[in-house]
Amino acid sequence: MTKYADFYRRSLHDRDAFWSEQAGLIDWKTPPQQICDYSKPPFVRWYVGGTTNLCHNAVDRHLKDRPDQAALIYVSTETGTEKTYSFRELHAEVQRTAAVLREIGVQKGDRVLIYMPMIAEAAFAMLACARIGAIHSVVFGGFASVSVASRIEDASPKLIISADAGSRGGKVVEYKPLLDEAIRLSSHKPDAVLLVDRGLSAMKLIAGRDHLWAPLREKHMDATVPCEWLESNEISYTIYTSGTTGNPKGVQRDTGGYAVALAASMKYIFGGKAGETYFSTSDIGWVVGHSYIVYGPLIAGMATIMYEGLPTRGIDGEPNPGIWWQLVEKYKVTQLFSAPTAVRVLKKHDPAYLKKYDISSLKTLYLAGEPLDEPTAQWISDALGVPVIDNYWQTETGWPILTIANGVEKAPSKFGSPGVAMYGFDVKLLNELTGEELVGAGEKGVVAIEGPLPPGCMQTVWRDDARFVKTYWETVPGKMVYSTFDWGIRDKDGYFFILGRTDDVINVAGHRLGTREIEESISSHPNVAEVAVVGVADKLKGQVAMAFVVAKDASTVSEERTRLQLEGEVMKLVEGQLGAFARPSRVRFVTLLPKTRSGKLLRRAIQAVCEGRDTGDLSSMDDPSALRQIRDLVASA
């Protein structure tokens, strides 16, 4: 077997030959004339002159060898729905959707904004856009009107596709009124709105603008819509990064490079094989949903599960923290991709649910989206008895920067580390003040990537090349490198450890601390289920660390005496592991932490509450009561 070190080295130093070989993993209508054009750094063009199509590679090319194999498995525990589409059936649905888009007037290069719950029609819409060369921009269904409006403003879509409503935990979330308000707030008005009526909420249609999906689909049941062959560097989609302030930042993705990157990642990183089943628990509103619910698994010829629901609710609507494992058994899932937060939720429930179902088909659990703490990794690894592999990447990169490429060479995971640099990513640790490269084990620096970025990464910021350069490439003194805005260290074996955002650094009396370091320490306490640490302004020390903890045993924090005892234990633990300067000024106990619906901690909102500042847009928050708890604690101090 190829040594990964050689494989990685070749991807950087024999770049064109390496990526030319990977181009063979997808179908091309016209072969590329040039593999990599880096004549205008930091902008890079991959597979220049080659023409291809994402939908063809995800759907059409599998019709010859596996037309009746499962392609898209739609499961909603919110509505009790399960439906499997073969590649043949998926091909037919995508063509029907493409014909509907064409009837509405959507052409190559037009933008289509998709604001939908996790339903099969959302995947049809994405693939149909890719089929006809329209640029889709999926907006997370949890966003409120103001956030949606800013994205409509920026993307200027000809068409918006949405639905009457979504559902979360059995509660209907009306989409149509939110969308109507978003369009009202935006100066850009779409020509048309296409709506899926799920029968969850009554809709008021606007004549001349709003169209229902079902009757238009019926008109095009036998539609044949050929793929539009796009030059590799033509835009496939834009996606807005979460948590940005001011104008939304549209990450712009190409077509050919993205298809190759996903095909390669399915082979080398995720070990996916045609005929197997991939289950990502993410949402199509996030990049993981694009890369590893829709495009990646389908390009690899796998079945992909599209899941609407909570990790603790069964298909019958009853509580069932074993629902994911039930689906693993039923659909013979081979790879499961989720987030550490979801695992921590399951960790609170009876471990018997992990043993109730036959999960022998499962080869690997992949986790990403936030740093994976060692206790959580150890718990789920022991419980499942399969390898647990962390991976670190960003909306901007489209696929993992750091992980383990077991498809090249088997290598061990290290709990607490996402892994090593992936092929094509020339990852460096740099001193944020001098730009000097840090090569020693344990030296802390900014995680940065030397250009050119590999295939599949962002081309630029949509309609704003200057912002792309200034935001990502000009933050390290004296060097034009892509900054991830994350702190990291590397051990002697080349494994990276992510310590937190560079803008989540706490400066306590001259000591620079990453909140992630403190969280990692606190998480190792046996009675800590979850923790968030933020830096809070302090007149004496500049900043102090404040920790908010969810205890595993709630009874231990119900009385002041035991609460203070646990707080003291946590402080002593941090002091012992990191030093007295890292000890939080307070440890406060809550029943849940403020998160987005995708499971990311809202650290900046917590910090704003602690400092008496405005929290900003919280439309993506899962449960508002979490932040109210913190506000009440701060007010009573």
Domain stop point among 179, 196, 223: 223
Rg (CA), the chain: 24
**What is the rounded average pLDDT of the residues 148-158?**
94
Contacts of 121 (CB under 8 A, 6+ apart): 97, 161, 163, 196, 213
Across the chain, mean pLDDT equals 93
Domain stop point among 197, 223, 249: 223
Per the rule left: phi > 0, alpha: psi between -120 and 50, beta: everything else, 550 is beta
**Which amino acid makes up residue 244?**
T
Query: How confident is the model at residue 245, as a pLDDT?
Result: 41
Q: Examine the pLDDT at 12 and tell me if it is beyond 90.
A: yes
In a domain, 382, yes or no: no
Interval 526-560: pLDDT, tens? 999 999 999 998 877 778 899 999 999 999 999 99
- Cα torsion at 326, 329, 333, 334 (round to 10°)? 120
Q: Is 39 exposed, middle or buried (0-12, 13-18, 19+ CB in 10 A)?
A: exposed
Interval 91-144: pLDDT, tens? 999 999 999 999 999 999 999 999 999 999 999 999 999 999 999 999 988 777
- What's the farthest any 2 CA atoms get from each other in the chain? 72
E strand residue ranges, 147-220? 159-163, 165-168, 171-174, 192-196, 210-212
Q: With contact defined as beta carbons under 8 Å apart, do 139 and 117 qualify?
A: no
E strand residue ranges, 103-145? 111-114, 135-138
Long-range CB contact pairs, 390-395, < 8 A, 24+: 390/366, 390/417, 390/418, 390/419, 391/269, 391/366, 391/367, 391/418, 391/419, 392/368, 392/418, 392/419, 392/496, 392/498, 393/368, 394/287, 394/484, 395/239, 395/241, 395/242, 395/251, 395/286, 395/287
Domain that holds residue 518: 509-636
**What is the rounded average pLDDT of the residues 563-576?**
93
Contacts of 440 (CB under 8 A, 6+ apart): none
In a domain, 610, yes or no: yes
Long-range CB contact pairs, 501-508, < 8 A, 24+: 502/432, 502/446, 504/534, 504/535, 504/603, 505/535, 506/535, 506/543, 506/544, 506/545, 507/535, 507/542, 507/543, 508/535, 508/541, 508/542, 508/543, 508/544, 508/545, 508/581, 508/582
Q: Examine the pLDDT at 467 and tell me if it is beyond 60.
A: yes
Instruction: Cis check for the bond before 42: say yes or no (omega within 30 of 0).
Output: yes
Q: Which two tokens stand for residue 504?
A: 């989540």
The model's pTM is 0.87
Q: Examine the pLDDT at 242 and tell me if it is beyond 70.
A: no
Per the rule left: phi > 0, alpha: psi between -120 and 50, beta: everything else, 333 is beta
% of the chain exceeding 90 in pLDDT = 78
Q: With contact defined as beta carbons under 8 Å apart, do 252 and 109 qualify?
A: no
Query: How confident is the model at residue 243, as a pLDDT?
Result: 38
In a domain, 234, yes or no: no
**What is the rounded average pLDDT of the residues 376-381?**
89
| Nearest one of 348, 373, 484 to 428, comparing CA atoms | 484
Residue 628 belongs to domain with CATH number: 3.30.300.30
Least confident of 123-137, 255-269, 405-419, 502-516: 502-516
Number of domains in the chain: 2
pLDDT tier at 241, thresholds 50, 70, 90:
confident
In a domain, 628, yes or no: yes
Q: Is 420 exposed, middle or buried (0-12, 13-18, 19+ CB in 10 A)?
A: buried
In a domain, 360, yes or no: no
Domain stop point among 191, 223, 255: 223
What interhelical angle do 15-23 and 256-268 show, nearest 10?
90
**What is the rounded average pLDDT of the residues 607-624?**
84
Walk across the sheet containing 364-367 and list its strands: 81-86, 70-76, 303-308, 277-280, 333-338, 364-367, 388-390
In a domain, 498, yes or no: no
**Which amino acid makes up residue 413?**
S
Walk across the sheet containing 237-240 and list its strands: 210-212, 192-196, 159-163, 111-114, 135-138, 237-240, 250-253, 460-461
pLDDT tier at 146, thresholds 50, 70, 90:
confident
DSSP characters for 285-350?
TSHHHIIIIIIHHHHTT-EEEEEES-TTB-TTSSB-TTHHHHHHHHHTEEEEEE-HHHHHHHHTS-
In whole angstroms, give the CA distance from residue 514 to residue 545. 10
Q: Examine the pLDDT at 88 and tell me if it is beyond 50.
A: yes
Residue 149 belongs to domain with CATH number: 3.40.50.980
Q: With contact defined as beta carbons under 8 Å apart, do 437 and 448 qualify?
A: no
pLDDT tier at 510, thresholds 50, 70, 90:
low
In whole angstroms, give the CA distance from residue 390 to residue 367. 5
In a domain, 412, yes or no: no
Interval 243-277: pLDDT, tens? 334 567 899 999 999 999 999 999 999 999 999 99
Q: Which two tokens stand for residue 386?
A: 């399969």
In a domain, 215, yes or no: yes
Q: Which helix (H) or strand (E) holds 34?
A: strand 34-40
Q: Examine the pLDDT at 422 and tell me if it is beyond 60.
A: yes
In whole angstroms, give the CA distance from residue 327 to residue 289. 18
Query: How confident is the model at residue 509, as a pLDDT?
Result: 67
Least confident of 32-41, 463-472, 549-558, 620-629: 620-629
Outline where 349-475 has alpha helix (H): 352-355, 374-384, 465-468
